[in-house]
């Protein structure tokens, strides 16, 4: 669970517990048991949504690592092939082989 979500869940749960304990004093101040029930339900939804996001982040992390490995391989192959062209042909002919820069 992310630190932000974890902290908010903890604070909200503590608040709900304290409000429930003192509900008799709070009914005249606009706080009702059904509101606390809704808050608890929302906390559960938040926990589930956060778990889902954590799973997605983990899956994404694996896919990003795989993509980065492929990118590194492609870059290496590109540099290797480009080096051949630059080593064997004059700068004026590089464009014919798809080498766009003149550095």
CB 94 within 8 A of CB 86: yes
The per-residue pLDDT for 101 is 74
For the chain, give every domain's residue range: 3-92
| pLDDT mean over 67-93 | 96
pLDDT at 103 over 70: no
pLDDT at 34 over 70: yes
When pLDDT is cut at 50, 70 and 90, the band that residue 102 belongs to is: low
| pLDDT mean over 20-37 | 95
| 3 state SS for 44-93 | HHHHHHHHHHHHHHHHHHHHHHHHHHHHHHHHHHHHHHHHHHHHHCCHHH
């Amino acid at each position: 669970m992310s630190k932000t979500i974890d902290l908010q869940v903890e604070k909200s749960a503590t608040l709900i517990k304290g409000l429930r304990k003192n509900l008799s004093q709070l009914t005249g101040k606009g706080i009702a048991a059904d509101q606390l029930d809704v808050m608890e339900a929302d906390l559960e939804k938040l926990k589930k949504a956060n778990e889902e996001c954590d799973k997605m982040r983990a899956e994404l992390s694996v896919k990003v690592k795989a993509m980065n490995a492929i990118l590194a391989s492609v870059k290496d192959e590109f540099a290797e092939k480009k080096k051949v062209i630059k080593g064997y042909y004059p700068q004026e002919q590089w464009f014919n082989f798809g080498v766009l820069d003149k550095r």
